[in-house]
Amino acid sequence: MEWLDLRACYLVRMLSECRIPRTDIVREIETVDEKYREHFRARLNYWREYRELRGNAT
């Protein structure tokens, strides 16, 4: 679970820096085991909201 959180943080950072397209995030979600997908999506959303609130400073 911790790995998924770290991966989500990294993906959101890369997306905000325009280093990867959104389709890469969709592909990454599909690679996660089905029982962890909802958790992974929640972590992606958490980090996206965190970056928005912090003004992309992190």
C-alpha dist (Å) from residue 1 to 5, 32, 37: 6, 11, 11
End-to-end CA distance of the chain: give it in Å, rounded.
Answer: 22
Predicted TM-score (pTM) of this structure: 0.87
Distance from C-alpha of 55 to C-alpha of 39, rounded to nearest angstrom: 24
Distance from C-alpha of 28 to C-alpha of 32, rounded to nearest angstrom: 7
Q: Is the pLDDT of residue 50 over 60?
A: yes
Q: How high is the mean pLDDT of the chain?
A: 93
pLDDT given for residue 35 in this prediction: 96
pLDDT given for residue 30 in this prediction: 96
pLDDT, tens digit, 9 for 90 and up, residues 24-42: 999 999 999 999 999 999 9
Give the mean pLDDT of 46-51. Answer: 95
